[in-house]
Structure formats: structure tokens, C-alpha cells
Chain A
Amino acid sequence: MDAFVRHTGLVGPLDRVNVDTDQIIPKQFLKRIERTGFGQFLFFDWRFRDDGTPNPDFELNRPGYEGASILVAGRNFGCGSSREHAPWALQDFGFRAIIAPSFADIFYNNCFKNGMLPVVLPEATVEEILARAKERPGYRLTVDLQEQTVEDEEGLIAHFEVDPFRRECLLNGLDDIGLTLRHEPDITEYERRRAALLPVAAG
């Protein structure tokens, strides 16, 4: 997994609440068996008109947001389906961090597994960032996981909380399956203890 330490980039404002993973990556694109190549389908039904041309009304299609790498959105971002294709699509499109007042649990988890940082900031701070990004295309932020801060070049600085274990894994790009496998003897011992209670699913 890629590490995430600090990232400075252009802000893409998506001022909507409850953005669900069906919008992030619609179902017709879930049939691929690879992990890559989903970026072209990101927010597909919002980004493109029926004739396949870009929808000029969609926030991220407006001039000045091309190349955005920090997405800022309303609360409960990533709700709905567990599809990890959603973070894959965001990442493949170029996003490295997502800032919102809250995230849905499964989506939040999935981001960390892919080296992408979801940042929870207070609603008022997110509104301020959205306002600045909408007013001034080209608005940039620095997201620093080491320091747990989000900072712009105009004096805005906000601290965010993140689970220390997740932070450590992301800072170092650790393979968490590898971490679990270090405890293989514990797993074997647990299986021995509980053998009588486990079901037999096969057959």
C-alpha cells in the first residue's frame, strides 16, 4: 500500500451531503475484475451528460478544478454500498485525500486500505473550505497526517483526529495482512480453542 504523509494540492469542492457510493461509481462499472482503471467512471452520471459530453454544471467540471487532488464534500460521504471500487475510482482519478464533516463507516475503512486519507473536520470548517474553494478556483490545501493538520495559504489551520493505529499504518504504508499474519500463532491457538463451536460451511 502507498504511504500517505503530507500532501499539498488543489481542492475540488463537492458541496453535497450524503454522497453515496452508487454516485461515486455507478453499478455498470463494477463488472471489471481489476483494481485499476475506475477513475474514468468516477461520478459518471453527474460528470457526463447523456450524450457522453462533460456536464458543465457538475461542480468538478467547472473551470479551475481540473487536477484537484483533495476532495471536500458534505456530511455522510460514501454512504451506501460497500464497494471498494468507490475509493479506487477516487484515487485513480487523482484524489489523495477527502475532507468531510463525516463519512460512512465502510467507505472510511476502505480509504485507509488504499493509501487515501479521509479527514473529518467540523462542519463549520468544511463549510469555510468549501466557500473558499468555490470562490477561488485554484485554492489549495496541505493535508499533513504526521501533524494531523489541514492548512491553506491564507491562515486557515485545522487539527483533525485519526485513530493512532490507522495513522501509523498509513504513514508507513504497512500491509495490514502482513501485520495480522505476525499473529498467526494466536489465530491457530484461537481456532484450537473454539474448534467445537465453529460451523462447517463447505459441502
Chain B
Amino acid sequence: MTVQPKTLFEKIWDAHVVREAPGEPALLYVDLHLVHEVTSPQAFEALRLAGRKVRRPDLTVATMDHNVPTWDRQLPVTDEISRQQMDTLAQNCREFGVTLYDLHSKKQGIVHVIGPELGLTQPGMTIVCGDSHTSTHGALGALAFGIGTSEVEHVLATQCLPQSRPKTMEVRVDGRLAPGVTAKDIILGVIGRIGTAGGTGYVVEYTGEAIRSLSMEGRMTVCNMSIEGGARAGMIAPDDKTFAYVEGRPHAPQGKAFERAVEHWRSLATDEGASYDRVERFDAAQMAPFVTWGTNPGMVVPVTGRVPDPSAYAEEADRRAAERALEYMGLTPGTAIQDINIDRVFLGSCTNARIEDLRAAAGVVRAAMTKGKKVHPKVYAMVVPGSMPVKFQAEAEGLHEVFRAAGFDWREAGCSMCLGMNPDVLQPGERCASTSNRNFEGRQGKGGRTHLVSPQMAVAAAITGHFVDIRDWDV
């Protein structure tokens, strides 16, 4: 008997189908449901009104991240409505028996940082959260995707979701990255080519040498921005790196159970001969440090490039979108990216605020400090760790002292200026080099202008006051 070869996605999907019937979406079981304060209050309220309970509070974990101020945790939350939203989450978690990592927890952090960190995220799982960057967890070989609040309610009540089977896309990145070119640049390069809707309807599996060579943190950065390419989920087959990352974490299986789990996880990788609905190939050698110039993540060029001319677009709709973007961004066609001056730097977010990101950025800062360089006097730069454990780890390594000595503001954990729901926002017209994931109009503050870059590129820009090519930057 021959067994039909399957992709990673197909194996996980098939293992989670509770029920299938012709003409209906599959009923998919959810192994882990992550919850935060912004997209859950209406879901809990609806449960209450319908007299329903949370079916599996033991598979549900909540944290506060979007609204939380990143100043001293002993200080009060001054935004009354934000505070109310956080209090509501706390009340809901108490009432429905859900574990919560609140503002004062030592494990608090951005939901997509703490899931893997606590060992909650494991290979082979299905994971959902009312947040589009849930795709992050796919880096560990899980099927993880963002859902709306009605679906949050659905999962709370049933631990299942009716889902139509998505198509599969392989994004293969062969070869090796040059020094200074990072996971962030891979994903920006991919989105730059496939476009912000290129992955719509697909689950992406990232493969190839350049992906395999990435650390777990780097893989999370890549999967995190799958949604910016339109794909609800991105995933990477689990390997020894994955298992070593998971081992010993608080919620990971221990001892014999871990060994059994690894044996199962090894079987998840895409089989030889399995096929995808679509394949996109990239060469890592063609990847450069990227900088976005416009108002969606697909509007991106290498740091050595220039702001494009809208008239070069073949389609009228794209031309108008580019014109609008340039007007909003206050940029002129033909401007060299390295001539763009910045006012602010944000090193943070579920894309790039893990320990490895902070280490890489601190390395650049240290090198600059040896030459007497600090944050440019016209720039305000903040570092917001992705979680409190990331913050503690960074402090144990002395990274905070490096950042502070160079003039960076060292903050508490949260989503912060990635979306500016808390007090960390850009002022109108301010230009920011940001390690986050979205450069939409007003995303970081009304009228704010966001350029997406890697952590190394962001801190180099903080020091020089404009973008520089990290590959040949002579501090």
C-alpha cells in the first residue's frame, strides 16, 4: 500500500478535523486559544448572554499587550478606556476560569512572544487568536492563524472552528543570506514580490536553506509577517532547532513525554513528493536590507534603492496608490533611501522584539559606542522588549545598559508603538524607522510616517539620523 505524500499543513489539518460533511466547511479542533484584551470583550459578553461557558479553559490563555503602557508598571494606567478594557479581560478570565498574564505578571508580554516562550506553542498544534499576527506561531511547525471576535466566541464556546480548507503555497528561499541581511529582510523581500494579497487564500510553508539556517526567533519573524503577504498562516517544518527551543520550557512536555512528542513532531515535515498548489522561489543571495517607502508592506526597496516614481507603474490603480502613499509619506520620487532622515526609532513588536533581536541590535549599538557614537541628537529611539521574560533576559545580559548608554529609552513589554493603542505614538509628520510589521497610514499615530526595517537597520538609523546600509556601514 502506498501512502499519499502530504505537506506539513495537510498533516496538521487532517489530524484536527473533528467532522467533515459534503458541502460544509470542516470542523477543525483548536489546541490552543490565545486571548488578549482588545478582541475578546465582545466575545465573552456574547457567551454570557447566551449562557455558554468556555469549553476548554485549560486550552485558553490570556494576556494584556495591546493597550499596556510601557512605562514603569508601578505607575497607574492613565487612559481610562484602556484601563477598563484591561479590567474587563481580568474579570472575564476570573469568571470563565481562564489563565491570565496581566500587567503585573512576570510572564506578561505580547501574545505572540509569550506563546512560544512559555512552551505553550508546540509543533503540530492548531493555534488561533483574535489577532492577525498569530501566524507567528507557525515558526514552530504549528498551524496558527488570526480570527475575528465572532470566531473567538466560537472557539471559546466549542474549542472548534468551521473552516474551509485553504490552498498551500511553498515559499522556498535557497542559498545563504549575506551578513547584515536578516529574517526581516527575507519576509519584506517576499512580500515585495508576491504583493500584499499574494498569499490570500493560502497557507504558506517556508522552506529552503536560508529558512532552515534561521534561528527560531528569525523563523518567527518570517512567519509573523505572512499576513502582510495576505496569507493567514505561515509555517516552517519543525527540526532539531525547534525541539531544542521547546525543550525545558514551562508548558513543554517533560522527560519521556518530551521524547515521545519529538518522535511525533519529526513525522510532521512535508513528505518527499508532496505537492503544493503554488510554489514561489527566492534566492537568498538576492536579498538585501529592505526599507519600506510607502503605506503598505509591499511598497519596499533595498536600502541601496530609491523612492520609486509612481508613473512607472503599469496599472492605474497602483499608480494612484503609489501617488497617495508618497504624498502621505512626504517623499519625492527618486530620493535615495539613505538620504531619508528620521525622527523616531521603534525597536519592538511581535515581529522583532525577541531576545535575539535585542542582542543583534545591541551588537550594532556597542560597535558604534566604541567609536563614540550615540543616538543622533534629533532622534528619539525606544526599545520595547516583546515580553517581560525578554526584558529580564536582556537585563541579565546587560543589553539595557548598552541601549541606555547610547541614548535609547528602555521600556516595559507590550505592543506599544507597533499600533499605538497605548501612549506610545508618533506625532503628525514624524518619520519613524520601525522594526514592526505595518506601515499603514496612521498605524503608529495619526499622520506618522513608518518605514519598516530590521532591528540592526533601525538602530543604525537611530545613530546616524538617516537610513544606512548595515552591510557596509563604517559606523
A contact residues vs B (CB 8 Å cutoff): 16-18, 20, 22-23, 26-28, 30-35, 45, 50, 74-76, 79-85, 87, 102-106, 109-110, 113-114, 163-165, 176-177, 179-181, 183-184, 186-187, 190-191, 194, 197-203
Contacts and interface: CB of A to CB of B under 8 A. Distances in A.
Nearest to B61: A201
A200 to B, nearest CB: 6
Given A27-B420, A104-B197, A183 B19 contact: yes
Contact of A202 (B58, B132, B162): B58
B59 interface: yes
Interface string B1-31: 0000000000000010011000111010101
B39 interface: yes
A80 B31 CA distance: 25
Given A26-B442, A27-B419, A199-B59, A104 B230 contact: yes
A187 B39 contact: no
A163 B200 CA distance: 16
B42 interface: yes
Interface string B61-76: 1000011000000000
A105 B229 CA distance: 11
B151 interface: yes
A164 B420 CA distance: 39
Nearest to B82: A31
Nearest to A23: B441
Contact of A199 (B19, B196, B251): B251
B440 A22 contact: yes
Given A84-B150, A187-B158, A165 B442 contact: no
Contact of B18 (A106, A164, A183): A183
A81 B421 contact: no
Contacts of B45: 33-35
B125 to A, nearest CB: 7
A75 B150 CA distance: 24
B180 interface: no
B311 interface: no
Interface in B392-443: 419-421, 428, 438, 440-443
Query: Which residue, of B79, B441, B442, has the highest number of chain A Cβ atoms within 10 A?
Result: B442
Contacts of B59: 198-199, 201
A186 to B, nearest CB: 5
Nearest to B57: A202
B438 A75 contact: no
B230 A79 contact: yes
Interface string B311-355: 000000110110010000000000000000000000000000000
